[in-house]
């Protein structure tokens, strides 16, 4: 603030004048004054300096008290509303944000009121050391404030996002100007004011140092000031590491304060190659950097977070704990002043280069390799293996994780410098892209000026990045300490119930076509939110709309972290014409693929296109089953559906729908690892999303539990079912495959994208009951739910389709090196299967081959299908698998890789005939 800077400037000038003694003054060597006269003169000057130092400090203390008053001003009305039916904040939130501010204000008000008359009525006999000593003795209040500081900031930020009224209050707090100031008030953000107490301790310590310097050693104040300085310095040393490093400032060319707002690792597409960069967002500039290579320590020493120009350089890409270095520096690749930074429009994005997406099966292969290495590391540690061997494994794991981090992101984030070049980052999470965009746009609201940094200025700014950075390690799991939580492995079941707080939309995005008729919504190939592995409910119907802007069409997506980065895993239905979507109810009946009806018995979750209208016939929730791979957080993003045709025809990964709100919660293992559903609420930008979740561990989800009712099909031996049905292939397998081939064989991600869990459970119930409405339901059901039902059937067989007895032999056969021996063994194993198992397996095999023939459209290769079905068809039942799973992450161990390879072998094999297989006697036929 200007007044504060003036006060500090006045104080600095006083101190500078002291050092600028001119020749010929009484203190110069040739002075005619005597030593005693010189001493008296120096003492007088020292006392005068004390007054000047105190006057400057008193002026800044007045400003500080005004800042604390401004911070306290909204606290009382906020507390008053906290007990009403419409609170802005809860009492706990108020207590957290304003913690100890009142105490600090009272301490400094008392100090100011005591010091002010002494300075105004100054004489040489005045003492004030006791006031500073008392002030220093009360620093315990500041310690409490500092300990709470980060939580206070986070709480204030979350409350601003979730409550518009509080956001307005916190963005413009009015600070009263000093008595003699021309300006009566200035506007300051709450975030800036919350940092003032931390800054004040530092300045008070500097003033104590200056006062002591100008106080004679025999003055009564001297020992008191000494004691106060000692206490203050000790306090500063104790809190230095607790202070948020982002608050450390550098100076702009104009002498203004430049602070680091946000930093993190992003993948940049540069000259056709993916490069990992460390991106720094300052108050007026976005800077993209990479860590310099250094030769310190010679070959074999890592460079901390690695050289991101080329991950293949293993020496420079190993994880930080393999060799830290001092004096690391960043290289600036480019920078863009925020005044010149713009985000390209969707139309401008059309001219940008297409993003090459790595095939899913390559990413899954790498995940398997990483998990297998993790298992090896754990086994080495358990067996107290050599540290050198463990470090080698860790190094290999880091290289693989780095490759995955570099090649997984596919969501474009484009930056353009209005004076020249454009830059393209690739992110794996739309949540992350939104955070960067919002942080930049918030800063751009200020009066920013364009500038060009000189080479020296750029060097200074880049040099400060290493000290200021808040993200130190590449976000890969191998960077975790051994005692850090490994995250959750298993399945998170989530039901999104409802959302409140949306406002009527007036955006162009919501302008739907007036006469589209009935038809399907854009499928995953064009769906703006269908990243890899995402669950979604298809079949949204575009209906006629009036020209008047209606309420928004809303949906939510769910993201979880996996292998160090976030991925989108699920998407709710699009809820039409309402600002309060209720995903756990269906209005006017259930609808799938454009049909109307009523919620069938035992079939929750069939609602699709939800319009305003009749009372719901029944409650129908939409449950998602999300696979967790070391996950620690769940994110929910709320979108408004975009129907602007100019924005729809983008590449598959361009998300054009508007984010209305986003929020995140930590997955607490103790809270979620219960058999019961856990209800929770995420607040975001005034929107509240209600959801429930429960967690199933991998060992529980992998159990093949025989059904107690032998009258159904799930959990019942395949031989029992075929005998009862008098069929060669179970009816459920034939019907699901027939429906998938009829209308799902070209569906992007078929069998990989999960259907809604409640829809799958509904189909399971109908098949188990042999309900006469099965065919009607199948024809109306979301195709991903049908594909999911088929997978669930094989997963819940009491023993795998390829049997427990033959499992060890399949594992040995696929490991054979000689092609002829492998052929004989693998064919012999098929002949050894019971007939119902073999016929069903061959039936499924030919179906999966037909699905893979459509790979250019559905993106499902033979390898993808083997990854999905291999463990389902081969994983041993509980009794056989004991000892196989020693760790949560062992699901992607060598066994799983081998299971995938077994199925892939048969998928890549020429057509196999049941008759020919049984007739052929050339195959090797020893006992298995």
Summarised one tens digit per residue, pLDDT across range 441-490 is 999 998 888 899 888 888 888 888 888 888 878 877 666 655 556 678 88
Summarised one tens digit per residue, pLDDT across range 849-881 is 999 999 989 888 898 899 889 989 998 886 555
> What tokens does 183 get?
């300006």
Residue 904: is its pLDDT beyond 50? yes
**Average pLDDT for 230-245:** 66
At 554 the pLDDT is: 86
Residue 150: is its pLDDT beyond 60? yes
At 844 the pLDDT is: 96
**Average pLDDT for 388-409:** 88
At 221 the pLDDT is: 87
Tell me which long-range contacts 88-93 makes (C-beta under 8 A, separation of at least 24).
Answer: 88/163, 88/165, 88/166, 88/169, 89/159, 89/163, 89/166, 93/155, 93/159
At 466 the pLDDT is: 82
Residue 82: is its pLDDT beyond 70? yes
Summarised one tens digit per residue, pLDDT across range 173-194 is 888 877 666 567 788 888 888 8
At 622 the pLDDT is: 67
Residue 50: is its pLDDT beyond 70? yes
Question: Do residues 535 and 570 make contact, with C-beta atoms less than 8 angstroms apart?
Answer: yes
- Mention every residue, 6+ apart, whose C-beta is less than 8 A from residue 743: 783
Does this model's pTM top 0.75?
Answer: no
> What tokens does 428 get?
């794996």
If pLDDT is split at 50, 70 and 90, which confidence band does 625 have? confident
Summarised one tens digit per residue, pLDDT across range 415-437 is 999 887 899 999 988 889 999 99
At 482 the pLDDT is: 56
Query: What is the distance between the terminal CA atoms of the chain, rounded to a whole angstrom?
Result: 83
The proportion of the chain whose per-residue pLDDT surpasses 70, expressed as a percent, equals 71
Q: Is 756 helix (H, G, I), strand (E, B) or coil?
A: coil
The three state secondary structure string of 259-271 is: EEEEEEEEEEEEC
- Residue 424: alpha-carbon gap to chain centroid: 20
The residue among 515, 582, 504 whose CA lies nearest residue 550 is 504
- Residue 214: alpha-carbon gap to chain centroid: 53
At 703 the pLDDT is: 63
If pLDDT is split at 50, 70 and 90, which confidence band does 349 have? low
At 722 the pLDDT is: 93
**Average pLDDT for 816-832:** 88
Summarised one tens digit per residue, pLDDT across range 358-388 is 887 788 778 878 877 887 787 777 777 677 8
At 280 the pLDDT is: 95
Q: How does the average pLDDT of the chain come out, rounded?
A: 75
If pLDDT is split at 50, 70 and 90, which confidence band does 726 have? very high
Residue 318: is its pLDDT beyond 50? no
At 110 the pLDDT is: 92
């Amino acid at each position: 603030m200007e007044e504060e800077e003036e006060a500090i400037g006045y104080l600095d000038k006083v101190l500078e004048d002291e050092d600028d003694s001119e020749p010929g003054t009484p203190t110069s060597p040739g002075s005619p004054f005597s030593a005693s006269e010189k001493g008296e003169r120096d003492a007088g000057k020292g006392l005068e300096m004390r007054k000047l130092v105190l006057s400057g400090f008193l002026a800044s203390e007045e400003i500080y008290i005004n800042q604390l008053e401004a911070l306290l001003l909204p606290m009382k009305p906020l507390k008053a509303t906290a007990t009403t039916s419409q609170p802005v904040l809860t009492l706990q939130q108020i207590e957290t944000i304003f913690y100890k501010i009142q105490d600090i204000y009272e301490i400094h008000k008392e100090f100011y009121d005591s010091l002010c008359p002494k300075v105004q009525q100054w004489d040489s006999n005045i003492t004030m050391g006791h006031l500073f000593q008392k002030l220093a003795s009360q620093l315990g209040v500041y310690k409490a404030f500092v300990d709470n500081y980060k939580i206070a900031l986070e709480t204030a930020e979350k409350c601003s996002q979730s409550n518009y009224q509080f956001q307005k209050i916190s963005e413009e707090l009015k600070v009263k100007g000093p008595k003699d100031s021309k300006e009566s008030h200035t506007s300051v953000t709450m975030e800036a004011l919350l940092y003032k107490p931390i800054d004040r301790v530092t300045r008070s310590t500097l003033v104590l140092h200056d006062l002591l310097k100008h106080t004679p050693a025999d003055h009564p104040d001297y020992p008191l000031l000494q004691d106060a300085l000692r206490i203050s310095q000790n306090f500063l040393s104790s809190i230095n590491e607790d202070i948020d490093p982002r608050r450390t400032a550098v100076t702009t060319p104009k002498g203004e304060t430049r602070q680091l707002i946000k930093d993190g690792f992003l993948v940049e597409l540069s000259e056709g190659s993916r490069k990992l960069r460390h991106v720094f967002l300052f108050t007026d500039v976005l800077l993209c950097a990479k860590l310099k290579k250094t030769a310190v320590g010679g070959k074999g020493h890592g460079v901390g977070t690695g050289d991101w120009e080329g991950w293949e350089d293993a020496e420079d890409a190993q994880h930080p704990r393999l060799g830290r270095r001092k004096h690391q520096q960043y290289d600036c690749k480019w920078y863009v002043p925020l005044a010149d930074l713009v985000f390209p429009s969707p139309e401008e994005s059309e001219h940008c280069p297409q993003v090459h997406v790595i095939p899913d099966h390559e990413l899954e292969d790498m995940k398997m390799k990483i998990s297998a290495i993790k298992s090896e590391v754990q086994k080495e540690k358990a067996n107290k293996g050599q540290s050198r061997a463990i470090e080698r494994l860790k190094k290999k794991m880091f290289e693989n994780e780095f490759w995955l981090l570099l090649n997984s992101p596919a969501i474009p984030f484009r930056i353009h410098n209005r004076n020249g070049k454009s830059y393209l980052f690739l992110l794996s999470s739309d949540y992350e892209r939104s955070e960067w965009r919002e942080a930049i746009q918030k800063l751009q609201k200020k009066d920013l000026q364009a500038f060009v940094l000189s080479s020296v200025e750029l060097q200074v700014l880049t040099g400060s990045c290493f000290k200021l950075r808040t993200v130190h390690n590449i976000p890969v799991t191998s960077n975790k300490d051994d005692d850090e939580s490994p995250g959750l492995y298993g399945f998170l079941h989530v039901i999104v119930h409802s959302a409140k707080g949306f406002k009527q939309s007036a955006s162009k995005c919501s302008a739907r076509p007036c006469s589209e008729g009935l038809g399907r919504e854009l499928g995953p190939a064009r769906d703006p939110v269908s990243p890899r592995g995402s669950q979604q409910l298809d079949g949204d119907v575009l209906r006629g709309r009036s020209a008047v802007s209606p309420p928004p069409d809303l949906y939510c997506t769910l993201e979880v972290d996996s292998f160090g980065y976030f991925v989108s895993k699920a998407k709710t239905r699009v809820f039409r014409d309402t600002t309060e979507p209720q995903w756990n109810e269906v209005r006017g009946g259930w609808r799938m693929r454009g049909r109307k009806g009523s919620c069938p018995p035992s079939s929750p979750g069939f609602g699709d296109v939800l319009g305003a209208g009749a009372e719901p016939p029944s409650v129908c929730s939409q449950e998602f089953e999300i696979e967790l791979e070391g996950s620690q957080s769940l994110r929910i993003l709320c979108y408004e559906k975009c129907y602007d045709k100019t924005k729809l025809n983008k590449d598959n990964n361009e998300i054009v729908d508007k984010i209305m709100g986003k929020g995140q919660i930590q997955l607490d293992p103790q809270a979620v690892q219960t058999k019961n559903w856990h209800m929770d609420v995420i607040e975001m930008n005034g929107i509240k999303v209600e959801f429930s979740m429960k967690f199933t561990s991998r060992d529980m989800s992998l159990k093949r539990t025989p059904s107690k009712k032998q009258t159904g099909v799930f959990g019942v031996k395949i031989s029992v079912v075929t005998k009862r049905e008098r069929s060669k292939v179970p009816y459920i397998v034939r019907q699901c495959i027939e429906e998938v081939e009829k209308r799902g064989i070209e569906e992007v991600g078929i069998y990989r994208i999960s259907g809604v869990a409640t829809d799958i459970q509904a189909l399971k119930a109908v098949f188990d009951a042999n309900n006469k409405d099965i065919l009607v339901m199948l024809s109306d059901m979301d195709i991903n739910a049908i594909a999911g039902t088929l997978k669930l059937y094989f997963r819940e067989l009491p023993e795998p389709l390829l049997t427990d007895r033959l499992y060890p032999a399949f594992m040995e056969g696929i490991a054979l090196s000689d092609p002829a021996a492998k052929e004989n063994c693998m064919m012999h194993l098929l002949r050894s299967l019971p007939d119902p198992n073999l016929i069903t397996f061959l039936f499924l095999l030919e179906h999966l081959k037909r699905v893979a023939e459509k790979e250019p459209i559905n993106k499902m290769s033979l390898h993808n299908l083997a990854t999905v079905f291999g463990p389902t068809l081969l994983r041993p039942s509980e009794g056989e698998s004991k000892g196989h799973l020693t760790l949560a992450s062992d699901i992607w161990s060598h066994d799983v890789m081998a299971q995938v390879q077994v199925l892939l072998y048969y998928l890549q094999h020429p057509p196999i005939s049941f008759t020919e297989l049984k007739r052929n006697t050339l195959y090797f036929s020893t006992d298995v």
